Amino acid sequence: MGDAQDAQDAPQPGKRGPKVPEPDMKTVKLSVTAPQPARKALRGARERSKVQQAFDALVTKAHAQWVKAGQPEKWEDRPLGAVNCMTGQELQVRRALTRAGAFTNLSIRFGEDAPVDGQEGVVSVVFSATDKKIKES
């Protein structure tokens, strides 16, 4: 008899599980507590590393050159920044540049990485720093 009841209560494919009874709102005790600060808000913001600060300054400088050039829209007309790094470190450089763009509220666009002439195993990560476009709703 117990097996038949268990089979009836078990969820069937395509069907919901056993029905949960509605609570009796007359006997339920409700309480309200003071809002608690988010756990993330309790942690202080970490100080940016010296390396990340250098990327922040590089992105700010590239943006200033873009503004000085008249804020061109076409990639070919934009002044470009470049970071030379060892092959295999391109992703870390791109991430640092992207974080710098987020920190300074700028849009970072990347060009194609190119090998540096005369230096084996070194590539140049090319980027442009512009104002973020405002999305119209």
The 10 Å Cβ neighbour count of residue 57 is 12
User: Residue 74 falls within a domain, yes or no?
Assistant: yes
15 within a domain of the structure (yes/no): no
In a domain? residue 64:
yes
Domain hosting 68: range is 48-131
Domain count of the fold of the chain: 1
pLDDT per residue as tens digits for the range 66-86:
999 999 999 999 999 999 999
Per-residue pLDDT band for 48 (boundaries 50, 70, 90) equals: confident
Place of tokens 């590539």: 123
Q: Is residue 57 part of a domain?
A: yes
Q: What digits encode the pLDDT tens for the residues 95-127?
A: 999 999 999 999 999 999 989 888 898 999 999
- Domain for residue 34, yes or no? no
